[in-house]
Amino acid sequence: MSAAQPIDIDVAYGKGRLPIRAAGDVLAPRAARPVPDETRAVFDALENPIGARPLREIVHRGERVAIVVNDITRLARADLLLPPIVDTLNAAGVPDGDIFIVFALGIHRRQTEEERRLIVGDRIFERIRSFDHISTDDASLVEIGVTRFGNRVEINREVWEADRIILTGEIIYHLIAGYSGGRKSLVPGVAGFRTTTFNHRMIFDPNCRAGKLDGNPAHEDLLEACRLADPDFLVNLVLSPEGRLIRVVAGHYDLAHREGCREVDRMLAAEIGEPYDVVVASAGGFPLDIDLRQAHKGLENACQALRPGGSILFYAECPNGAGIGSFEDYVRRYRDEFEMRAALEREFVVGGHKAYWVARLGRLYDVHLVSALDPEFVRSCHFQPVAPAEHAAALGRLLAKAGPRARVAVIPYAGFTLPVQRKLTEVLSL
């Protein structure tokens, strides 16, 4: 965190940027040196895994291999990961025809062919069969067991029946599970809708929060589900907010993931003193602000730096709207977070839980949202809408209202940055 100073900075907004000017502290990821040769770093991780044998020793000729890949809502750089993985499989005797890629949609929308090609790259898209996982297609699911929490784990049948399962993805903070990546590629990535919604019901537990693994029931439920499937290998990336590769962790689905989480915390946890009066933050641009459902994660992070009742100007384009119909339905149907929680406790609805979180933030803080969303919908979220052309004027009004002694923070990459009010060594419970 830098000392308070005049700031001229362009923040990410969709696929573009918007300029802001303020005086305050910048909460941003610590400088981390990108790896000099990204492809070499992936090959090295495959050869020197954590808690597992090298990938080339795990797979064998005649085996069918499933590779689970993130969908378009995640900046996971599968186009970097997949060529070394496929080359390693080929060298071990597994031909392209025995490899398939499953996009871990979880409960997200189906993707277009253009999006699938963009994720994996032209070379892999033309060579390897790939398809979207559909969580509501019961015929494509198989139940593999029950966690100690009572979650009946259903996953994609073709993934389950593969001889080898390789999980890929990116590790950043996650509001419920502590961190993304690792076991989340399996659940919710290629899990059934019922399995995912069971896990999401844990959102009201205060231990389900960003930066926490041990003692987090949502994470522990996901980890048990992953153990039931027993994937053979994990490859996860730790990326800078700009998408530069900082580290590749590979090997055992839990041990390698935890090492990646520690790396994330070293880079992305921003220690603060007292909470701020005003926060100016960007979700981090596309794809982190592809819709309000995704952008909310950055908003939740940014509000960790804000005092109760403080003001935040949050930049998130949200070209795909709310991101899920039930989110918008909840926002329009219920007056406040309390009605939403009561409804969710009666019948949990995915998307409704996001509306609950959004309404809660709208009650606790003065939220001004710079977006392409319908202004009426934004007001229904208990936020104040701001048109992109008016963002500078809106910022000026917030700063003037707060006064010259106000403590101000700017968070350029809120989707990545977790403000914490304690020493970095205490952030993680690993």
CATH number for the domain harbouring residue 231: 3.40.50.11440
Domain membership of residue 33 (yes or no) is no
Q: Are residues 157 and 23 in the same domain?
A: no
On whether both 122 and 241 belong to a single domain, the answer is yes
Size of the chain, expressed as the number of residues it contains: 430
Is the Cβ–Cβ distance between 235 and 49 less than 8 Å?
Answer: no
Q: Are residues 289 and 252 in the same domain?
A: no
**Does residue 32 fall inside a structural domain?**
no
The verdict on residue 296 lying in a domain is yes
CA distance 131 to 116: 8
pLDDT tens, residue order, the chain (430 aa): 444 567 889 999 999 999 999 989 999 888 889 999 999 999 999 999 999 999 999 999 999 999 999 887 776 799 999 999 999 999 999 999 999 999 998 888 788 888 999 899 999 999 999 999 999 999 999 999 999 999 999 999 999 999 999 999 999 999 999 999 999 999 999 999 999 999 999 999 999 999 999 999 999 999 999 999 999 999 999 998 888 999 999 999 999 999 999 999 999 999 999 999 999 999 999 989 999 999 999 999 999 999 999 999 999 999 999 987 889 999 999 999 999 999 999 998 888 999 999 999 999 999 999 999 999 999 999 999 999 999 999 999 999 999 999 999 999 999 989 999 865 434 444 4
* Residue 11 and residue 74 in one domain: no
Is 263 found in the same domain as 153?
Answer: yes
Nearest to residue 217, comparing CAs of 171, 254, 180, 177?
177
Q: In the listed set 267, 297, 324, which residue is the last one of a domain according to the structure?
A: 267
Domain that holds residue 298: 5-27+272-426
Q: Same domain for 296 and 350?
A: yes
242, 267, 292 - which closes a domain:
267
Residues 345 and 199 in one domain: no
Are residues 192 and 228 both part of a single domain? yes
Q: Which of 236, 267, 298 is a domain's end point?
A: 267
- Claim to verify: residue 415 and residue 334 sit in the same structural domain: yes
279 with 417, same domain: the answer is yes
Show Cβ contacts of residue 346 under 8 Å, excluding neighbours closer than 6 positions: none
- Which helix (H) or strand (E) segment is 379 a member of? helix 375-380
- Do 409 and 313 lie in one domain? The reply is yes
The domain tally of the chain equals 2
Is the full-model pTM beyond 0.95? no
| 279 and 218 fall within a common domain | no
In a domain, 328, yes or no: yes
In a domain, 378, yes or no: yes
End-to-end alpha carbon distance in the chain: 24
Q: Is 170 part of a structural domain of the chain? A: yes
Burial class of residue 402, CB neighbours in 10 A (0-12, 13-18, 19+):
middle
Is residue 255 included in any domain, yes or no? Answer: yes
The CATH number that applies at residue 22 is 3.90.226.30
Q: Are strands 418-420 and 269-271 parallel, antiparallel or unpaired?
A: parallel
